[in-house]
Structure 1
Amino acid sequence: MGLRPVDLAREHGLSTQAVRNYEEAGILPPAERTPSGYRVYALRHAAALRAFLALAPAHGHATATAIMRAVNGDAVEEALRLIDGSHAQLAGDRRTLEEVERALHDLVPPSGPEPGTTFIGPLAHRLGVRPATLRTWERAGLVVPGRDPLTGYRVYTPADVRDAQLAHQLRRGGHGLEQIARVLERVRAAGGPEPLRATLREWRDRLTVRGRAMLAGAAALDAYLGCR
C-alpha cells in the first residue's frame, strides 16, 4: 500500500515538510521513490511516525530521535539501552521525590517561641554533625548564612536552620550535594516547606504522566518493530 507524505501528515496534524524532515533525520526509514522522484511511504513508515510521536513525550525529542535512528539502523539493543536509561532516570526522580517528601515530614517543628538566630556550633550540635560539615554545605550553596558585621561569625536565621535540617535529612537518604542544592532552591522559591508541598504534588503528577507516556511509547514502538 503506497502512502504519500500528506497521508502520514494528516493523521497527526503535521505538515508534509515535517514528515520529510523526520525521514531526513532518520526517524523514519528511507521512503521508496517513484520514477519521477516522489516519495512513497508504506504502513511501516506510518507505524514509525506513530512510534516517534509516542516516544517523544516520554523520553524527550533528542532521545526519541536516537531510539528511532537505532531501530532503523538495526541496532535494537542500543534503542533498548536508551529506553532503559530513561526508565532509570524516572525511577531516580521518583526516589528523590519520596525522599524530599519524607524529609519535609521529618522536619522538627520549633518548640516554644519562634527561634531566633544561632551560630555554627549550636546548630552543628543540634543536627549531630561537625561544624566542618556545615562549612562544606555552605561551599556547596546548600545553606549560606549571613555574617555578624562586628565579629564575622556565621549567623543562621530560622530559615537557614530549616534548610540545614532538610539538607541533613536528604544527606542521610544518600543524596548528593548538587541534588540537595536544587531541592533547597525549590524550598526557597516556594517560600518554605508548606508551599512546597503543592509543588511536590505537581511534581508527582508529572512523573505519573511521564510514566504513562513511557507505556504508550513502548506499545507504539513494539507495534513498529512488529511490522518492520
Structure 2
Amino acid sequence: MGRNLQTTRHLRPIDLARRHGLSTQAVRNYEEAGILPAAGRTAHGYRTYTPLHATALRAFLALVPGHGHQAAASIMRAVNQGAVDEALRLVDESHAQLLDDRRTLRAVESALRGLESAATAGPDARGAGSGATHIGPLARRLGIRPATLRAWETAGVVRPRRDAMTGYRVYDEADVRDARLTHQLRRGGYPLERIAPLIARVRAAGGLEPLEAALGDWQGRLSARGRAMLTGAAELEAYLRERG
C-alpha cells in the first residue's frame, strides 16, 4: 500500500533535474532514449514523473561511472522493456571487460619486469646497448623469425626506419624496446591488435619509466571502476525491486 502511494505521487521534470544537477532537457532526453520509463501526461500535455522515475534516474547515473554511458543506457533500456535477463547480461559484459583490463594490466607489469630483468643482466643478455640494429640480429636476440618482426611492423607495434642507401630496416633503441615489450606480451598470449595500443602508450609516455608511473594511475582507475560498479549494482537492484 505504501509503495503504491509512493509511486503515484507526481513529480515535475524540474524536480528530477534539480535533484541530480541536470537540466530539464536532459531528463526529457533520457526519457526519449528509453533510459527512463515513459512519463505520464497532464490534461494539458505536460510530463509528470513519479518516484519510480527518480529511482530509475538515480540507477542510470550510478551505472555510468562503472559501465560507461552507452552500456548504462542499454542496461536501463533493457530493464524498462522488461528484458531483465538482457540487462543482467550487459552488466556481466562490463564486469568481464573490467576483469580483462585487469589481466592486461598484469601482463604489462609482467612484461616490464621481464624487460627490467634483461636490462640488469648486462649487455650480452640485453643485446641492445649499442643502439641501432637490423632485422636479422634483432630476430636472433629475441629468438623469433624475421618474418615475425615484419608482421609486427605491419601491425604497427614496431616502426623501424629504412636506411636511405640500402633500404634495410634499421631498429633504434626505442624500436628494440618496443620489440622486446611486444615479445613479452605475445608470450603472455596477447594478440597484436591489443598490444598495439599499449606500445603506443609507451611511445607517448616517452619510454618505460614514465609508463611504470602510469601503471599506478591505471590501477587506480580500474579500482574506481570496480567500486562504481558496486554502487551501480545497488541502485539498479533498488530500481528492479521498485518496479516489481
Q: TM-score range by the shorter chain?
A: over 0.9
Moved over 3 A (4+): none
Matched, 1:181 2:196: yes
The aligned counterpart of 2:119 is 109
TM-score by length of 2: 0.88
Q: Higher mean Cα deviation, 33-42 or 174-183? A: 33-42
The aligned counterpart of 1:3 is 11
Amino acid of the residue matched to residue 55 of structure 1?
A: L
Matched, 1:196 2:211: yes
Amino acid of the residue matched to residue 190 of structure 1?
A: A
Q: How many residues were matched structurally?
A: 228
Matched, 1:120 2:138: no
The CA deviation string for residues 70-117 of structure 1, in whole angstroms up to 9 with x for no partner, is: 100000111111111111111111111110111011101172494222
Matched, 1:62 2:77: no
SS of equivalent residue, structure 1 residue 80: helix
Q: Higher mean Cα deviation, 145-154 or 76-85? A: 145-154
Unpaired runs of 5+ residues, structure 1, are none
Amino acid of the residue matched to residue 200 of structure 1?
A: L
TM-score by length of 1: 0.94
Unpaired runs of 5+ residues, structure 2, are 1-8
**What's the C-alpha RMSD, in Å, of the aligned pairs?**
1.5
Once the two structures are superposed, the pairs formed by residues 10-159 of structure 1 within 5 Å of their partners are: 10-107=18-115, 108-109=118-119, 111-112=122-123, 114-159=129-174
The structural deviation recorded for 1:23 is 1.3
% identical equivalent positions: 67
Q: Higher mean Cα deviation, 14-23 or 93-102? A: 14-23
The CA deviation string for residues 20-39 of structure 1, in whole angstroms up to 9 with x for no partner, is: 22112111111222323232
Q: Higher mean Cα deviation, 187-196 or 31-40? A: 31-40
Q: For residues 63 and 54 of structure 1, what CA distance do their matches in structure 2 show?
A: 12
Q: For residues 64 and 210 of structure 2, what CA distance do their matches in structure 1 show?
A: 31
